[in-house]
């Protein structure tokens, strides 16, 4: 149960916002997974945010595009992995607003085949009219941002008015504002004890944790690491929360002890399947007709299952799993899905 806190709508009113989401995403009970895991499990369907296959990026981008519009930008730039959901939704938002879009695709996942590099989100980037650039390194956020700003400078010299959506954490976390708003939405939908979600850039994780604590909710938020270790991710979430406190002009409601992270299902690394992720994809599909993908939601669900089996999630607790979307990426992993998921003998 949450106590009353600052009015979220009032806090966010001072930030320019482009409206891409005009409905409340559903919160659905997952009865068969609940029975299997011994908890009361629901899923917050942020895969159903609508725009170009949806996902959590839609909420974030309302604030980045609001800022871009307020500055008179006519071009937006972003960097991300080859199969980035973020990149795809940026291209869709730009198309919707009549803006030019430049995307930079980073080689974060080694050993990928031609299907990975041409289908799924890559195909959608092309369909949405994005101008595609490539960056050869996958673990160089500062370098990727520098190159993006160089491209922006070249565009500005040609008369464009560019706006860069940054990757590195040393920037105002505008995207987290969308998940402060989502925290309010979620608390209005149900009472719950525990929230589990994937933790990558950390903007969704930080926004939800900050928003829930700001409204007095004292349950647990567990981030499942999808890109870096828990040790590396924790200061990232803390930094986002500290910046949110400054941006909003409110005391930081998030203590160090509130930042819970688990990296037990991270190996062998970002965007690579392991048996736990394959099992989670299979269970969600065959028990609930729910699709999750290998990079974010499949790993986050695998982490939830691992946490329950390890006793880190209490029996019979009311747990919400945040589905952040990303489903077009499934089509970039056809080979691995057939080998590691579809090879299983029937429904469980």
Residues forming the active site: 84
Question: Rg of the chain over CA atoms, in angstroms?
Answer: 19
Please provide the DSSP assignment of 114-182 as one string.
HHHHHSTHHHHHHHTTPEEEEES-SS-HHHHHHHHHHHHHHHHHTT--EEEE--SSSS--HHHHHHHHH
Give the separation between CA 66 and CA 93, rounded to whole angstroms.
Answer: 11
Under 8 Å between Cβ of 25 and 51:
no
CB atoms within 10 A of CB 230: 17
Cβ neighbours around 107 below 10 Å, total? 15
Q: Whole-angstrom Cα distance, residue 299 to residue 278?
A: 9
CB under 8 Å to 210, separation ≥6 — which residues? Answer: 176, 180, 183, 240, 241, 244, 245, 252, 253, 254
Between the alpha carbon of residue 185 and those of residues 9, 34, 215, 326, the distances in Å are 11, 23, 11, 21
């Amino acid at each position: 149960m949450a106590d009353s806190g600052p009015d979220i709508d009032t806090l966010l009113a001072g930030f320019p916002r482009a409206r891409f989401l005009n409905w409340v995403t559903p919160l659905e009970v997952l009865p068969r997974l609940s029975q299997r895991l011994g908890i009361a499990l629901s899923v917050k369907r942020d895969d159903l945010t609508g725009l170009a296959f949806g996902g959590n990026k839609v909420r974030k981008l309302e604030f980045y595009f609001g800022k871009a519009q307020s500055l008179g930008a006519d071009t937006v730039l972003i960097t991300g992995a080859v199969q980035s959901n973020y990149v795809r939704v940026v291209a869709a938002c730009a198309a919707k607003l009549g803006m030019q879009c430049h995307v930079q695709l980073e080689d974060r996942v080694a050993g990928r085949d031609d299907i990975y590099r041409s289908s799924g989100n890559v195909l959608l980037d092309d369909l949405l009219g994005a101008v595609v650039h490539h960056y050869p390194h996958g673990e160089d956020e500062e370098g990727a941002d520098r190159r993006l700003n160089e491209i922006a400078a070249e565009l500005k010299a040609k008369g464009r008015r560019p706006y860069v959506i940054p990757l590195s954490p040393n920037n105002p976390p505008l995207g987290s504002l969308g998940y402060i708003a989502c925290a309010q939405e979620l608390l209005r939908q149900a009472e719950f004890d525990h929230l589990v979600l994937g933790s990558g850039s950390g903007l969704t994780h930080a926004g939800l944790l900050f928003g829930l604590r700001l409204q007095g909710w004292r349950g647990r938020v567990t981030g499942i690491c999808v890109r870096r270790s828990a040790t590396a991710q924790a200061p990232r979430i803390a930094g986002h929360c500290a910046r949110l406190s400054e941006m909003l002009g409110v005391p930081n409601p998030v203590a160090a002890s509130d930042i819970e992270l688990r990296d037990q299902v991270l190996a062998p690394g970002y965007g690579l399947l392991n048996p736990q992720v394959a099992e989670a994809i299979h269970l969600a599909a065959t028990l609930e007709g729910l699709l999750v993908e290998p990079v974010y939601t499949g790993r986050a669900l695998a982490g939830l299952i691992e946490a329950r089996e390890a006793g880190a999630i209490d029996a019979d607790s009311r747990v919400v799993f945040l589905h952040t979307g990303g489903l077009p990426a499934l089509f970039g992993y056809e080979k691995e899905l057939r080998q590691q998921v579809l090879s299983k003998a029937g429904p469980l």
